Amino acid sequence: MKPFFTKALLALFSIWFTNADAQNAGFSAVLAFGDSILDTGNNNLLMTVSKCNFFPYGRDFPGHRPTGRFGNGRVVSDLVAEGLGIKTLLPAFRNPLLSSNELPTGVCFASGGSGIDKVTASIQGVIWVPDQLRDFQRYIERLNSAVGDPQKANEIISNAVFLISAGNNDLAITYFSTPARMTRYTISRYTDMLIEWTTTFLKNLYDLGARKFAVLGTLPLGCLPGAKRMTGGMLCLPNVNYGAKMFNNKLSNLVNQLNENLPDAKFVYVDMYTYLMELVENPAKNGFLTAAKSCCCMVASPVPCLDASRYVFWDFGHPTQKAYETILPNILNDIRSLS
């Protein structure tokens, strides 16, 4: 091969590897914990009504099949994994067909309907967020076997992005929809408790080897179609949004504290509230027909819309894949700060 072409070829490969490395920013895997924003099918075999492995869910998923993802297509955990250049789909850890080949690049432990409050998971029969740690411990055992080297497994875990979404159901369902909780605790006290439990959970992950944390704030819960139904479908519930913002402010402060107090760990707060609220308040500006009603699966929309990409929300509480894709650049920018 002539020297000119050899140098050109080497330069081309150098650019390719540099771009690929910049894309995944050195992250080895994505490991997701929490609720339906991230769940990719862990509820499918549970005895719970909080599942969606049936039509029309998954209508726009590759193969047009329901997988247990709470939406019309891929969810945040999938899109983050792809956006970081790791993999296109993040498999559910409880999928009985999960291949060992998937383990080194990450899996999902999240459970739709779950939360950091044990009551949240109990009333729906789903996997409580702290109990997802047990699945993570089983994952570590399987990862050790898959890679055949505990040190290599530790490196994968320490360089993985730990994606965490908890608090949505605790506030929207357990607190604001459960009189017993509202009567017993003020919203200030309840959000303090959520932060205490979240702190314990994150420190437990740290003790198991996690070092890079992307902690998602709650969505604008008072503006979800299920909440707006209480006002006739047009107005957001201010008290619910107030509670969500209070929790998110405390969660952001917690992230800052943990950055200072846990050696070798990096935390970033992902402001899902603000990112999604931009679509709620300005749907047309962002290419959507409406954020006032959902595409599917509510009394007002029993027959799914023809094009979910025109809607901010798929159902009563979950954004469409298009909505997630629209805010994804902001999410990825936050996560890349962990590298």
Nearest to 108 by CA among 134, 77, 142: 77
- pTM summary value: 0.92
Q: What is the pLDDT of residue 215?
A: 98
318 is catalytic: yes
Identify the pLDDT of residue 25: 59
Please state, in angstroms and rounded to a whole number, the distance separating the CA atoms of residues 322 and 108: 21
Q: Which of 39, 135, 170, 315 is catalytic?
A: 315
Pairing of strands 212-216, 30-34: unpaired
Sign of CA dihedral 52, 198, 273, 86: negative
Give pLDDT tens digits for 271-320.
999 999 999 999 999 999 999 999 999 877 788 999 999 999 999 999 99
Residue pLDDT, tens place only, 89-114: 999 999 999 999 999 999 999 999 99
Tell me the H-state helices in the chain. Answer: 3-24, 76-83, 118-124, 132-147, 150-158, 168-169, 179-184, 187-207, 225-228, 238-261, 272-281, 321-336
**Contacts with 161 (C-beta within 8 Å, 6 or more apart), sequence order:** 27, 29, 30, 31, 80, 84, 106, 212, 213, 214, 335, 338
Q: Is 36 annotated as catalytic?
A: yes
Catalytic entry in 36, 111, 114, 165: 36
Task: Identify the burial level of 182 via C-beta atoms within 10 angstroms of its C-beta, where 0-12 means exposed, 13-18 middle and 19 or more buried.
Answer: middle
Residue 261 predicted with pLDDT over 90: yes
Instruction: Supply the pLDDT for residue 302.
Output: 81
Domain boundaries, the chain: 29-336
Q: Is the pLDDT of residue 219 over 80?
A: yes
| Per-residue pLDDT band at 185 (split at 50, 70, 90) | very high
pLDDT at 7: 38
* 179 vs 206: CA distance, rounded Å: 35
Separation between Cα atoms, residue 15 and residue 254, nearest integer Å: 39
pLDDT at 2: 43
d(C-alpha 254, C-alpha 298), whole Å: 36
> What angle, rounded to 10 degrees, do the helices at 150-158 and 132-147 form?
130
Computed over every residue of the chain, the mean pLDDT equals 92
CA distance 184 to 42: 32
DSSP 8-state code for residue 230: G
Candidates 3.90.1200.10, 3.40.50.1110, 3.40.1260.20, 3.50.30.50; correct CATH number of 29-336?
Answer: 3.40.50.1110
What is the share, in percent, of the chain residues with pLDDT greater than 90? 87
